Amino acid sequence: MDQYNTKEDVLKLGIVDPELEEVLQHSPPPSMDFSSPVEEMRQIVSAMEKTAYDSCPRFDTQETGIDIPMRDGYQSNLHITKPGNSSGANPVVVLIFGGAFVMGTNIQSIVWARAIAALYGATVVQPSYRVAPEHKFPTAPNDIWDSVQWIAANESALDADLTKGFVIGGASAGGNLSIVTAHRAVKEKLSPPITGILASIPVCMSQETVPEKYKHLWVSREQNGNAPGNPGLDSKSIGGYEALYQQEFFSEDFSPFNSTVPFSAIPRTYVQVAGLDILRDDGIVYAKILRDNGVEVRLDAYPGMPHGHFNLWPHLRQSIKSQEDTVWHFGWLLDRQVPRERVEEIVAMTRK
């Protein structure tokens, strides 16, 4: 992962992808910015999630739901996807939805969930968490932590054997929650332990917590503040989401750079970043810090592509590659890899 070592290397990622540029001329992204009421943005995201849920093949998987208690007695839903031939000894993948901590639901990652269950024989759990502004920080990380603790204590209810693998992952806010939960799991000595992390287009630091060694690489907040193709995630909107979520930038529940857990204790990790994303360099810096501390880490960047491009324009070349990389790397994290060609076949079926 010896890449993106200079500011110039990182800035080149912000050159608009030619295929995307052509698409934007006649197919702009949905109108969604912080001037819209939160409920309107939630409806847009919910409609996209439902379309993906209804159109994605099930691949002979089984799906169920269960409500579990949070620390304050609130009942939170888990969406569970199991392989059709569930053995009772499946590894577990926890998928956490994104949406700037203010929108999204636990069916958002259904494409990944069904593909992972079918390809790797894993039980995939998509937890819920309460969103802002109704439920401000740290409700979201606490809900996810409570859910992960429940999963660790209830293998039999999930047809699971967590010693076969216990991976956590998500995109955007889901990437953030995956990272901070994995660090918390080390601190709290969760048993069985989390064995892998997938952090796609994550937010995981603020200007105040960027490591000095890599401050020269943390330039996307400025470079991509108004980059094309990023509905609802520009320099103005990100401040609006922060005002709703009210995270504490120096809290370990927001950033691993506030944690007392040594980075060397973190399990193998896969990170994805998008070149036009205002959050791009959070992922780059996090991956570099892990590598510096001896963690097995892989990083993929998609030059010239915006935040969430794989959901907004799933048929673009780099979006297809991103989805294939994601599904394939869950196999890497689980030590259950299959031929890349099989992953490509499954991902192609989800686009039809």
pLDDT in tens, 3-18: 899 999 999 999 999 9
Question: Furthest-apart CA pair in the chain: how many Å?
Answer: 52
* 133 occurs within a structural domain: yes
How many residues can be counted in the chain?
A: 352
pLDDT at 352 over 80: no
Residue 112 maps to a domain: yes
Cα 78 off chain centre by: 17
Domain that holds residue 171: 7-350
Name residue 267's amino acid.
Answer: P
34 pLDDT tier (thresholds 50, 70, 90): low
The chain-wide mean pLDDT, for the chain, equals 96
> What integer is the mean pLDDT of 198-224?
98
Answer whether residue 1 is part of any domain: no
What would the mean pLDDT of 170-185 be, rounded to a whole number? 99
Q: Quick check: is 183 in a domain?
A: yes
pLDDT tens for 296-326 read 999 999 999 999 999 999 999 999 999 999 9
pLDDT digits (tens, 9 = 90+) for 128-156: 999 999 999 999 999 999 999 999 999 99
Compare 34 and 138 and report the one with higher pLDDT.
138
Whether residue 67 is contained in a domain is answered as: yes
Taking CA atoms, 260 is separated from 101, 185, 251, in Å, by 24, 12, 11
With respect to residue 29, please indicate whether it lies within any of the assigned structural domains: yes
Predicted confidence (pLDDT) at residue 2 exceeds the cutoff of 80: no
Over the stretch 217-271, which tens digit does the pLDDT of each residue have? 999 999 999 999 988 888 888 989 999 999 999 999 999 999 999 999 999 999 9
User: In which order are the strands placed within the sheet that holds 62-69?
Assistant: 62-69, 75-82, 123-127, 92-96, 166-171, 196-200, 268-274, 297-302
DSSP H or E stretch at residue 50:
helix 38-55
- pLDDT > 70: percent of the chain: 98
Number of domains within the chain: 1
Domain assignment present for residue 313? The answer is yes
pLDDT for 70? 99
In sequence order, the 6+-apart residues with CB closer than 8 A to the CB of 218 are 205, 207, 210, 281, 282, 285
CATH number, position 305: 3.40.50.1820
pLDDT for position 340: 98
Which stretch of 69-83, 220-234, 277-291 has the lowest confidence by average pLDDT? 220-234
